[in-house]
Structure 1
Amino acid sequence: MKKGQLLIVLNAHLPFVRHPEFPSFLEENWLFEAISETYLPLLRTFHNLENKGIPFRMSLSFSPTLISMLTDSFLQDRYLKHLDLQLELGAKELERTKTQLEFHKLATLYTALYKQNKEDFSELYQGNLLKGFTYFMKKGHLEILSSAATHPLLPLYQDYPENIEAQIQTAVETHYRAFNRTPKGFWLPECAYYPGLDELLKKYKLEYFFTSAHGVLFSRDFPKNGVFAPLRTPQGLHAFARDLSSTNNIWSPEEGYPGDPVYRDFYRDIGFDLPMDYIGPYLQGGENRVNTGFKYYAVSGKTEKKSCYDPEKAKKKIEEHAENFIYNRLKQIEKLGSLMDGKKPLIVAPFDAELFGHFWYEGTAWLEVFWEKMSRTPELEAVTAGDYLLDSPVNQENELSFSTWATGGYAEVWLDGKNDWIIRHTHKCIQRMQELVDRFPNESGRKERALNQAAREVLLCQSSDWPLMIKMGTTVEYAQRRVKEHVNNFSRIYDSLSSNTLETEWLTKLERKNNLFPDLDYRVFKRHQPT
């Protein structure tokens, strides 16, 4: 008998990184690593489950910037070159480790993985991984969600509803182009909500979204079922909130499964361990030490003396952790059952997709074992948000509070003394973009191209990834550069249109570089008429 429901959501997102002006570019590896270590392994997991006849049902969001990169032929070609380097490194590692049995087994494992990646990417998916995810969507295993165009922290732009609409409309258009259907669900970037956002989401026929526990628990009225049932917003959309207990089982640095001593250590990589004269040809420019994917050590606890990684030990731990996750959810629903207002408890467990396989090497294997065990757990039903609303369309109406999923529940991560300089520039770009629409309401030809590119640059400078990196101290120089680059690109177009000195050659180069959202119409920034 079903006593409760579980909604697993993976959020697949990366900022737009594409640099054809360089023969190779370090930060493009973010995409290549995610393809090799998360997206392709996820698809293999889904195929394994299908071949075993094991049912699975979950939600997966794709950000429009990630969709744009996954479908870009230039980046697809670069990924194949990246794989060729990985295979060349694998051959060297097989030779180097042939007298080190434990390392040699792992080198063999990784080399086979990259060979499989190349075969799957080139032959099975013809370079476009979205084909694979679309297949499982059509088979009824996946509910694919959209997200805002460039992943901004939307509450920081609530004074510009036209900008919020530009983010949503561009997202919906990108989603339709990729999956040939209009999305019903929306992943709010950083789970960030503000009162009134539901009105703008409703205009694009979105029916539900995912947000933070903070926004529900501090809503206008007391949420009768806490975060264990969705709330209906004033505009009729449904808000599904994150359950902290289930996510902390995996996400928590202190308590989460990925920190178990037998699992593979993400941070120990031969890109940092081996001499430069050996590893240099496989590093960016031969001088920047980066992860190569060849990792030979286990987490081993808080010690510098790491044990060699043993996949068989990890396999046993995967079984244990999958069992433990389900056990914890069953205990949750048992406790919640008598506290609910006539509903079965719904546990919403959202994660960044890249946690599985990339940061937590065993993550995709854990998902496979988890779904196998779920198929033998009749008390717990796997659902999507759409499934839930079909069965339970009537839910408590409430107004959520402003919130994000960051520690503390607010926006200090994206707006503090290290990164708050960004917001005045992005706001000014929005204001000037609206001014351009007022001045050039119906352009065509070269001016329309310039205005459309100006709109792309305005959207790109708003990415929440850049202030987050600056705050956390990771790739700070690149993050700062990207914000300034998009602001400067926009300002150059603005100035050239104001002085009628548009540079066609420069504009063409910029269009070829930042080529996402081909259907974007600059008029989406047109000011709303006062009512």
Structure 2
Amino acid sequence: MTELGRFSLVLHTHLPWVAHNGAWPVGEEWLHQAFTGSWRRVLRVLETLAEHGYREVATLGVTPVVAAMLDDPYCLSEIHSWAGRWQLRAEELSARSGMGQLAEHERREALACLADLQSRWLTGGLSAVLRPLVDSGVVELLSGPATHPFLPLLTERFAAAQLSSGLADTQLRFGSRPGGIWAPECGYAPGMEDFYAGHGVTHFLVDGPAVGGDTGFARPVGDSGVLAFARDLDVSYRIWSSRTGYPGGACYRDFHTFDHASGFRPARVTGAGVPAEAKQPWDRRLASAAALRDAQDFVAAVARRLTDLRAQHGREALVVAAFDTELFGHWWYEGPEFLDAVLRLLPQAGVRLSTLRGAAEAGLVAGRIELPVSSWGAGKDWRVWDNDAVTELNDEIAHLQKRLFQLLDSRPDGAGRDPAADQLVREAFLLSSSDWAFMISRDSAADYARQRARLHADRFTALADAIESGVGADLLAARLREVDGPFGRLDARTC
């Protein structure tokens, strides 16, 4: 069969801060839900394909702080405990009338998750689970800045600290330093390609409008030689769109409707605007059939797009579809099943699966380009992360960047590792996460975002004051690190 072209699936494993948005359950169980509902399931899809001989299946970006969490023994132990409670909730649900099928499904899933955790994750963490897929060429790993900041709004020195720490952390965990990065929020400012080149970055992601919709090839940016791959919106929005995307299909499990006594989602979408009490019960068989139909539709759309690109350019071209990993399994329960079908059906339709690196090595590169200010957020500019609602937050981040380097530059030459300085960097890094501005701008758990940002700013200030006074800095840093939980395990030695 003549190949129509190449398809690159790019998944970005990120911090799903807004997983709850005020719904059941309360607290920061987002990490447990993202792991059990999405990350573990997506990796199992990739591993199963690898077992069947597939290579260059996907390009996977892992935010370094997420990798740190999923390598952390305490964090994994907490996920294991949560999965045990998941099993107990399912067994309790089985006693309720009309809930038997849902209870049995949840019990099976909980037991499978527990077995996976006990056999692999608790002993090796993400590094041990993901590295075989990377080493065998099934997955291309992308790195990125340590805590997912919106890089264009940072000073160059702080951005460099974020990126160099992220790249070093990825190399430490996975044994190699990726050439590609996921630029958080696909945020870009003219000249950043030279910044990336200075850190050994060879390619990064932008959104389709940044290249005027001409997404069929990677493009070297300016004179840097660094390649920009652009997301194909026509294809990606078949999944991503909140209005017309596949996850809104009537048969899929409804994310927003809870059985509050158990915490499970018992309903299917049923229809747009249908109130929760009128939604029909979720049926696993109906949902699976819908996932296969939508996968077939998606594959046909990719094939049409590649056929059109070949006719337009006279040569093989590329379709890049990029998403947050959490969409598959967390937000859209059937997402991993859909992905598995898509990745199996595409080669049957004459479409070659490819990582971004593989596409570049195959020569799917066009002429150089100058990129405008851009992101993948609303308006495709910076408005989500730079507006009146977040002015105070951005001013705080700017102030902390300045004070951070004043303190670091005042350290004696040749000074070794300093736990207090390390913790100071962590607080600044965590304050600068792009999620706080996103949540405030979109009014999605905005109070939580403000509280978290205030927490890190106050901790930074208290520690900076202690360092300047020479009193109690080491003790305060140790206490802050102790209460950090998974956030304290990110390595900051390169700062």
TM-score by length of 2: 0.92
Q: Which moved more, 1:397-406 or 1:132-141?
A: 132-141
Tell me how far apart the structure 2 counterparts of residues 440 and 36 of structure 1 sit (CA, whole Å): 43
Displacement after TM superposition at 1:373 (Å)? 1.1
Match for 1:420 among 391, 403, 414? Answer: 391
> Which position in structure 2 is the counterpart of 1:117?
113
Q: CA deviation at 1:28?
A: 3.2
Residue 105 in structure 1 maps to residue 111 in structure 2: no
How far apart, in 1, do the equivalents of 2:341 and 2:95 lie? 34
Structure 1 residue 239: deviation in Å? 0.2
Equivalent position amino acid for 2:128 in 1: K
Please list the CA deviations of residues 369-392 of structure 1 after superposition, one character each: whole Å capped at 9, or x if unmatched.
1122123122x1111111111121
Structure 1 residues 63 and 507: alpha-carbon distance in aligned structure 2, compared to 1, 3 A threshold: same
Shift of 1:463: 0.2
Residue pair 2:76, 2:122 contacting (<8 A) in 1 also: no
Show the counterpart of 1:285: none
Report 1:145-224 matches (<5 A): 145-157=142-154, 160-217=155-212
1:365 aligns with 2:365: no
Give the alignment of 1:20-419 within 5 angstroms.
26-53=26-53, 57-97=57-97, 100=98, 103-126=99-122, 128-157=125-154, 160-217=155-212, 226-233=214-221, 234-271=223-260, 274=261, 292=263, 294-301=264-271, 302-304=273-275, 305-340=278-313, 342-378=314-350, 380-392=351-363, 395-419=366-390
Q: Return the offset for 1:490.
A: 1.6
Deviation per CA, 1:191-210: give whole Å up to 9, x if none. Answer: 11111111221122111001
CA offsets, 1:178-219, max 9 Å, x none?
A: 1111111100000111111112211221110011123222xx
Cα distance in 2, alignment partners of residues 72 and 403 from structure 1? 35
SS of the residue 1:322 aligns to: helix
1:318-367 C-alpha deviation (Å, 9 max, x unpaired): 11111100111111122222322x54221110000000011111100111
Name the SS of the counterpart of 1:418 in structure 2: helix
Question: What secondary structure does 2:204 align onto?
Answer: strand
Cα distance in 1 for residues equivalent to 2:69 and 2:16: 9
Shift of 1:460: 1.2
CA 1:434 to 1:87, structure 2 compared with 1: closer, same or farther past 3 Å?
A: same
Q: Cα deviations across residues 456-483 of structure 1 (Å, max 9, x unaligned)?
A: 1111110011111122222222211111
Question: What secondary structure does 1:95 align onto?
Answer: coil
Unaligned runs of 5+ in 2: 19-24
Q: Please say if residues 56 and 371 of structure 1, whose CA atoms lie closer than 8 Å, have aligned partners that are also in contact.
A: no
Residues 50 and 387 of structure 1: CA distance in aligned 2, closer, same or farther (over 3 Å): closer
* Whole-angstrom CA distance in 1 between matches of 2:197 and 2:56: 29
Deviation at 1:494, TM superposition (A): 2.1
The residue type equivalent to 1:162 in the other structure is R
Q: Which moved more, 1:240-249 or 1:44-53?
A: 44-53
State the Cα distance separating 1:245 from its structure 2 match: 0.7
Give the secondary structure class of the aligned counterpart of 1:239: strand
Amino acid in structure 1 at the alignment position of 2:106: Y
User: Are the equivalent residues in 2 in contact too, given 1:11–1:61 (CA < 8 A)?
Assistant: yes
- In structure 2, what is the Cα distance between the partners aligned to 1:329 and 1:48? 23
- The alpha carbon displacement at 1:443 in A equals 6.5
**1:16 offset after TM fit, Å?**
8.6
CA distance in 1, matches of 2:334, 2:69: 25
Deviation at 1:431? Answer: 0.8
CA distance in 1, matches of 2:172, 2:318: 32
2:146 touches 2:162 (CA, 8 Å); kept in 1? yes
Q: Classify 1:317/1:167 alpha carbon distance in 2 versus 1 (closer, same or farther; 3 Å).
A: same
Number of corresponding residues:
480
Going from structure 1 to structure 2, the CA distance change for 1:121 and 1:148 (only over 3 Å counts) comes to same
Equivalent of 1:456 in 413, 416, 426: 426
- Give the letter aligned to residue 143 of structure 1: E
Provide the alpha-carbon RMSD of the alignment.
2.0
CA–CA distance in structure 1, aligned partners of residues 126 and 467 of structure 2: 39
1:409 and 1:204 map into 2 onto residues whose CA distance is 26
Match of 2:437 in 1: 467
Cα distance, 1:52 vs structure 2: 4.4
Deviations 1:398-450 (A, max 9, x none): 2211100012111111222322210001001111112112322437479x322
On the 8 A contact 1:15/1:463 being kept in 2, the answer is no
Taking the aligned partners of 1:120 and 1:88, their CA distance within structure 2 comes to: 17
SS for the counterpart of 1:144 is: strand
Shift of 1:39: 1.4
Q: Which residue of 1 aligns with 2:22?
A: none
Q: Counterpart in 2 of 1:8?
A: 9
Q: Which amino acid in the other structure matches residue 230 of structure 1?
A: A
CA distance in 2 between counterparts of 1:445 and 1:183 reads 28
